[in-house]
Amino acid sequence: MRGFAFSVYSQIARANILLEQGEIDCALGIAHDFVERIVTEPLCTSQVFGSSLLDDLCFRIGCANLETISSSHSVTPPSTNGRSRIAYVVSRLQSSGGHLRLILDFIRLQPEKDHIIYATGVAGSSDERFLAEALARCGNACFVAAPRGDFGARLTWLQNALRACRPEHAYLFNHHQDSVAVAALVPELGVPGSFCHHGDHHLCLGVYLKHLTHIDFHPMGYHYCRDELGVDNRYLPLTFGDNGYVPVRSTFASGGSLTTATVARSNKVEIPYYVSYLELVPQVLKVTGGRHLHIGKLTPWAIRRMSSRMRELGISQDRLIYVDWTASVWKSLQEHEVDVYLASFPYGAGLTLIEAMGAGIPVIMHHHMYSRVLSGLELAYPEAFHWADPNALLEHLGAVEPKELWEEGQIARHWYETYHRPEILRAYLRDSASFNLPVPPLATDFEPRLDEWAAWVETQLSFPRLAYRSAYRLGRRIRSWLS
């Protein structure tokens, strides 16, 4: 059967043969390439989250490779003045992105320890200049990138580095397809570890690793991994440092126009979906008569598309405020006097939503066509408005009153204080065994619209969609080659 050639079982069988022959690099490559193909197919997004077969393969590869490593080739760790060490294993870190901010919080809240970030580079090179500046401000952390080499060489380097480092704990923050990172942390290293499930809307390697503590950072992931996948997991909510609560006193409150905002890079909003963010923003501006702040780098094509649609609707270009990057989303939302935050779609973002609520800004959530995880309703306070039909969103924005937003902003701030303050993460890091924060329940009004999803999928089986997917995959492959 032609399709069987790409089945999980056939790939595992190939990898087992290579592993018996000592071909560690090729075996790692099979796991990596399988996941890469799945995560670059938009129709697979939020449909499958883990593979016990692939995780078992990575585990066996890591054990086999560790047996071949001589202790005389250990990598000398950075000097830490004899203090306890915490290690973080990552694939790639950029100046933007939620998991870097989360790692920095882990570091800041443990100032009495030293922290080493090890990057495999499997998903591409990290922004080392930005990282050096960010970690220098912490004063107790450093970044170490894997030398260039194949997957096998990077795995050997990483296991040597961890063995020499002897951290009291290691946190695994791998990208979905990083078989090197997942294979490295095996029990024989003698390093207690946690799998931090941040690659949570795709198939991700590491979900089923039983020797690591499985951490989920939002209620949707916690309930799904525990109830559907049968994973013994822990709930640790995303946290963000308090940058101050200043109740919004915008022009809208005094009779002016509404200011909306969204924070997302192109990988969150430039995705094939039944409603386009790029088409909807001009319609929002038409209804509100106000401004929309977009923070996050978009492609030039996306910016032109929004601009063109605004011209068609007779909307002045200066009403769309585009900021490709900011040091503080929280403060930027306050400085622009944002009245309401529109969560990104079709892929939501966790930490930026938390920043908006912490700043006391009401949020509006998107009810995803089929995925509770991509909807993220449970990350927001239960009273938050959410929409599936774009007309419902436009109607809501056209009718909302300043007093309503004022009251909802206070609810948003209270939700932040209850679940997302840094003190919550500090309590977990000090004594994870006794940490027991109640998990918010799942929203009762979420209903997948699978018939609509099926109808939309049928329209996507076309040459343009296949061309988009091919171009996306090629871009990722080029970035991987350059690393």
Q: Which of 40-49, 200-209, 324-333, 402-411 has the lowest mean pLDDT?
A: 40-49
The neighbour count for residue 190, using CB atoms within 10 Å, is: 9
Q: Is the peptide bond before 448 cis (omega within 30 degrees of 0)?
A: no
- The Cα–Cα gap between 162 and 153 comes to 14
The three-state secondary structure class of 183 is helix
What secondary structure does DSSP assign to 65-119, as a single string? HHHH--GGGPPPPPP-TT--EEEEEES---SS-HHHHHHHHHHHT-TTSEEEEEE
Statement: residue 196 has pLDDT above 80:
yes
* H or E element at residue 4: none
CA distances to 170, 308, 336, 366, 443 from 322, rounded to whole Å, are 38, 15, 12, 21, 33
Q: Which of 244-253, 331-340, 379-388 has the lowest mean pLDDT?
A: 244-253
Sheet strands side by side (includes 340-342): 320-323, 291-295, 259-263, 340-342, 363-366, 385-387
In this prediction, residue 254 has a pLDDT band, given cuts at 50, 70 and 90, of: confident
Asked if residues 136 and 109 have their Cβ atoms less than 8 Å apart, the reply is no
- The Cα–Cα gap between 87 and 291 comes to 43
Provide the token pair at 127. 């922004």
**Residue given tokens 């892929």 in the structure block:** 347
**Nearest in space to 376 (alpha carbons), one of 248, 244, 223, 265:** 223
**Which pTM does this prediction carry?**
0.89
pLDDT of amino acid 463: 57
Q: Which of 105-119, 122-136, 199-213, 432-446 has the lowest mean pLDDT?
A: 122-136
* H or E element at residue 29: helix 24-39
Within 13 Å, how many C-alpha atoms sit on residue 14's CB side? 18
Asked if residues 93 and 117 have their Cβ atoms less than 8 Å apart, the reply is yes
pLDDT of amino acid 132: 86
Statement: residue 160 has pLDDT above 50:
yes
